């Protein structure tokens, strides 16, 4: 058998095996509640979600205005994008993170959070 055909069979089998393993491990991970975060955006958002949340008075005022809810904040911490150009800077004995997300009404919002070792402070919420 020529090398080209052996290489094609090998790559095809490798592709099928990779798809099977990923499908199997993904279903096993979701049944146990495990999340795999390899990219920086996912790792930062997972770290922010895992700590206790404190809300600053400025952010509390935005929530009281009813244009944004805590559910919108939670969704942004799951599906939002971290602006790394403005984030990961030392700020008040923690690091500041700027997260771009959306409200339930599909309005763009920018969330400023300070990540401390044991807690996360929701500093402010702005409309874009």
Q: Is the pLDDT of residue 15 over 90?
A: yes
Global pTM reads 0.71
Cβ-based neighbour number of residue 99 at 10 Å: 22
Q: pLDDT above 90 covers what percent of the chain?
A: 20
Could you read off the pLDDT of 24-44 as tens digits, one per residue?
777 766 666 666 777 888 888
Let me know: does 110 contact 102? Beta carbons within 8 Å: no
- Residue 115 makes CB contacts below 8 A (sequence gap 6+) with 47, 48, 51, 94, 95, 96, 97
């Amino acid at each position: 058998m020529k090398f080209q055909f052996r290489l094609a069979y090998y790559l095809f089998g490798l592709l099928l095996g990779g798809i099977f393993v990923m499908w199997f491990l993904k279903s096993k991970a979701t049944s146990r509640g495990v999340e795999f975060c390899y990219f920086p955006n996912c790792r930062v958002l997972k770290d922010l979600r895992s700590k206790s949340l404190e809300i600053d008075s400025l952010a509390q005022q935005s929530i009281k205005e009813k244009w944004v809810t805590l559910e919108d904040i939670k969704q942004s911490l799951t599906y939002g994008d971290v602006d790394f150009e403005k984030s990961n800077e030392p700020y008040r004995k923690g690091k500041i993170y700027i997260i771009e997300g959306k409200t339930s009404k599909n309005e763009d919002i920018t969330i400023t959070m300070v990540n401390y070792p044991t807690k996360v402070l929701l500093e402010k919420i702005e409309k874009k």
